[in-house]
Amino acid sequence: MTEVFNTGVSEFKFSRGFQLPDERQFEDKRLDIVSWGKKNLFPNFLNNLFYSSAYHGGIIRSKVSYIVGSGFKGEVNENAFGDYSAQDVLNSITLDEQLYGAFAIRVKRSLDGTRSYEHIDFDMLRADLYGRGWWYSDDWSLGTALQSEEKTSLKLLWNYDDDNEDQYDSIYVAYFENPKNRQTRTSKKDQVNVYPQPGYISALKSIMTDIEIQSFHLYNIINGMKVSGALNFANGEPENKKQFEDAVKDAITPSENSGGVMITYSDGDDRKLAWVPFTGDDLDKRYLMLEESTVQNILSGHSATSPILFGIKTKGQLGGTTEMESAFNIFVKTYARNKQKFIEEHFNYITKSNIVLNEPTNPLAVEENPQQEVIEQKFSNQETEDKILLSLMKCGKDKKDYRIIKSQSINDEFDFEKEEKTIKESFLRSDFAITDIESKVLSLINKGETLDSVLEALNEDKKEIQKAYSGLTERGLLENGQPTEQGIRELAQNQPDFELEILYSYELRPDAPPLKTESRDFCRILMASGRLYTRQEIEMISLDVDRNVWRYRGGWYNDPTKERPTPFCRHVWQQNLTTRIR
């Protein structure tokens, strides 16, 4: 926007007005809900803070990790959580409590009286105006006028009633702090008070400041470190003034909120172009000081006893083991354990359980080997790991297209040539002989065909086909409509073009100890990819990265049952004798 103050001065102003998002709650009778903030989107604002501020988001993730720890103590009925585990639900409700100050669980009761429980994202809920329950929508940003079951899955979930045996679908909402105990912030008659406040509510401005600081630095860099100032053209005003100013603006005005430029014109003998910055040379120092105070305010708003617990380095911090141990003990007693008791109380109430959570995870619980840091630096090169993973994701075959007949793990003394020959030869030793029609039936079944489609495909007497199918099943060559290992062996012996292929996969070791934290990205992504590889593919990658991929296997692992870290992880390369099924 160009604002003309006089004939000689034009200003381009790109600053934005600021107003803290409105968290107030009002009646919205268009949909019979309680609106949560301006445009009913206050939780969306909280989500944006979580994903946009590295400090704020990191603290919340760390707090969730501490509170959840190693999960529930004792056994939990996993069948009650549908497609998710009890640990998944625990992680989700803990994150919601940290983000919004509450969590919600949907309770379903079947006709036989059994119950199931699922986590509902609290930001997807709005309180019913008459207190009957909570309205769920996939997208509240559309506004209340456009909400419907077809467009946004709009649905009223009734409040959970433990005594109502006829209630088959309901919702249970748990607050760490009862919002009705808080004072109303305005005198407007239609304001209600049903939504929680997150524990970091006092730090909202500081979190927003952190986001703006990072944006300022980013756009300042993008625009070549240009700063706000005045640009004087001593040639007088040009005839095409607007076009001229637009061109200047596009060339030198920074993006977003990192400044603007004022253009002035003058007539004089000296026709030089003059630039006068509005900011001093110590702008970087001022922003550094502001960032330090902002981080401290965010920590205070989160009741963080020490930044060292959340991976934040601050001025004057010692960073020793004693300081971390002391900070952790205070954090557990004053914060984490209270949150755990809150989750236990409400979780047990609706699930009819009597479970407790394990103690919050102490970051110093596992004593490290004095040489561990050196070992990790030497053998766990992140750049190499990423390169290996990227190469593996670009090649290989989809495991779903293959039937794995036999498998064996690979060790450091594995003789590839010998073992590949042995696994094929031992497999091909057969005890059966099959007829020509049985061979055809077995071949089509192996390619994914059903008995009905085989009857249509073969130009044979249908009774003979059914007899062949039954005979194959009786002799153990077919089971549940699929070829058995013996059936595959017969195909390989009776059909010259039948292909057996040896491929390799990345699998969990049979003797792997229980996982205490989570697998490395390398292992998790590779396991989830479901890929099979030829030996040549893996050896080519090994040559490319100058690392033995067979031995690398995700890097070093701290086995909780051993004193020293092992030079491999919980996974292993596995040799598979396969046949393609489609």
Q: Rounded distance, CA 293 to CA 300, Å?
A: 11
Q: Which amino acid is at 223?
A: N
Same-domain check for residues 157 and 212: no
CA distance to 23, 210, 212, 578, per residue, from 205 (Å): 13, 9, 10, 60
Report the helix count and the strand count for the chain, using DSSP H and E.
Answer: 19, 22
Quickly state the pLDDT bin for 159 (edges 50, 70, 90).
Answer: very high
Q: Tens digits of per-residue pLDDT, 362-387?
A: 766 544 433 334 333 433 445 666 77
Q: Rounded distance, CA 212 to CA 214, Å?
A: 5
Q: Is the pLDDT of residue 241 over 90?
A: no
Q: Are 142 and 124 in contact (CB under 8 A)?
A: no
Instruction: Look at residue 154 in the predicted model and tell me its pLDDT.
Output: 93
Same-domain check for residues 242 and 272: yes
Query: Hunting for tokens 């004053």 — which residue is that?
Result: 334
Domain assignment present for residue 420? The answer is yes
- In degrees, rounded to 5, the angle at the alpha carbon of residue 534 between the alpha carbons of residues 544 and 416 is 95
CA-nearest of 527, 526, 579 to 401 is 579
SS3 (DSSP) at 189: coil
Q: Write out the residue range of the structural domain in which residue 505 sits.
A: 378-430+499-580
Domain assignment present for residue 422? The answer is yes
HEC states along 383-433?
Answer: HHHHHHHHHHHHCCEEHHHEEEEEEEECCCCCCHHHHHHHHHHHHHCCCCC
Q: Are 139 and 72 in contact (CB under 8 A)?
A: no
Quickly state the pLDDT bin for 553 (edges 50, 70, 90).
Answer: low
Instruction: Look at residue 436 in the predicted model and tell me its pLDDT.
Output: 77
Q: Which amino acid is at 73?
A: K
Q: Are strands 229-233 and 261-265 parallel, antiparallel or unpaired?
A: parallel
Q: Is the pLDDT of residue 95 over 90?
A: yes
Task: Give φ, ψ of 35 to 5 degrees.
Answer: -70, 135
Same-domain check for residues 276 and 158: no
| Displacement of CA 412 from its chain's centroid (Å) | 35
Q: Tens digits of per-residue pLDDT, 251-285?
A: 655 444 445 566 666 666 565 666 555 555 555 56
Domain assignment present for residue 264? The answer is yes
Q: Are 36 and 43 in contact (CB under 8 A)?
A: yes
Q: Tens digits of per-residue pLDDT, 344-354?
A: 899 888 888 88
CA-nearest of 173, 102, 92 to 132 is 173
Number of C-beta neighbours around residue 67 at 10 A: 25
Same-domain check for residues 347 and 386: no
Element (H, E) at 136: strand 133-136
Look at the alpha carbons of 176, 190, 24, 127 in this order and tell me if their dihedral is positive or negative: positive
The pTM for the full model equals: 0.54
Total residue count of the chain as it appears in this document: 582
Q: Tens digits of per-residue pLDDT, 172-214?
A: 999 877 665 554 444 444 456 789 889 898 888 888 888 887 7
Domain assignment present for residue 493? The answer is no
Q: Is the pLDDT of residue 437 over 90?
A: no
Domain assignment present for residue 140? The answer is yes
Same-domain check for residues 405 and 266: no
Beta bridge partners of 9: 6, 264
**Start-to-end C-alpha separation, the chain:** 62
Q: Are 534 and 504 in contact (CB under 8 A)?
A: yes
Mean pLDDT of the 472-486 span: 81
Instruction: Among 77-81, 258-262, 374-378, 503-507, name the one with the lowest average pLDDT.
Output: 374-378
Last residue of a domain, one of 341, 364, 387: 364
> How many structural domains are present in the chain?
3
Same-domain check for residues 213 and 273: yes
Task: Give φ, ψ of 159 to 5 degrees.
Answer: -60, 140
SS3 (DSSP) at 224: coil
Higher pLDDT pick, 579 / 316: 579
Instruction: Look at residue 121 in the predicted model and tell me its pLDDT.
Output: 93
Exposure string over 240-264, b if 16+ CB within 10 A, otherwise e:
eeeeebeebbeebbbeeebbbbbbb
Same-domain check for residues 51 and 121: yes
Tokens in use for 106?
């949907």
Helix axes 86-100, 42-52, angle to 10 degrees: 100
Number of C-beta neighbours around residue 512 at 10 A: 14
Element (H, E) at 577: strand 571-580
Q: Rounded distance, CA 161 to CA 131, Å?
A: 13
CA-nearest of 144, 143, 104 to 125 is 104
Same-domain check for residues 555 and 519: yes
Domain assignment present for residue 536? The answer is yes
Same-domain check for residues 64 and 161: yes
Q: Rounded distance, CA 192 to CA 199, Å?
A: 20
CA-nearest of 369, 360, 364, 361 to 321 is 364
Tokens in use for 123?
């930001």
pLDDT > 70: percent of the chain: 69
Q: Are 12 and 253 in contact (CB under 8 A)?
A: yes
Same-domain check for residues 322 and 404: no
Name the average pLDDT for the chain: 75
Instruction: Look at residue 20 in the predicted model and tell me its pLDDT.
Output: 63
Q: Are 371 and 118 in contact (CB under 8 A)?
A: no
Q: Are strands 169-175 and 102-109 parallel, antiparallel or unpaired?
A: antiparallel
Q: Is the pLDDT of residue 539 over 80?
A: yes
Tokens in use for 115?
């119950």
Same-domain check for residues 97 and 226: no
Domain assignment present for residue 382? The answer is yes
Q: Which amino acid is at 455?
A: L
Mean pLDDT of the 44-57 span: 89
Q: Is the pLDDT of residue 221 over 80?
A: no
Q: Rounded distance, CA 457 to CA 450, Å?
A: 10
Same-domain check for residues 353 and 401: no
Q: Rounded distance, CA 4 to CA 8, Å?
A: 8
Domain assignment present for residue 519? The answer is yes
Element (H, E) at 232: strand 229-233
Q: Rounded distance, CA 46 to CA 99, Å?
A: 7
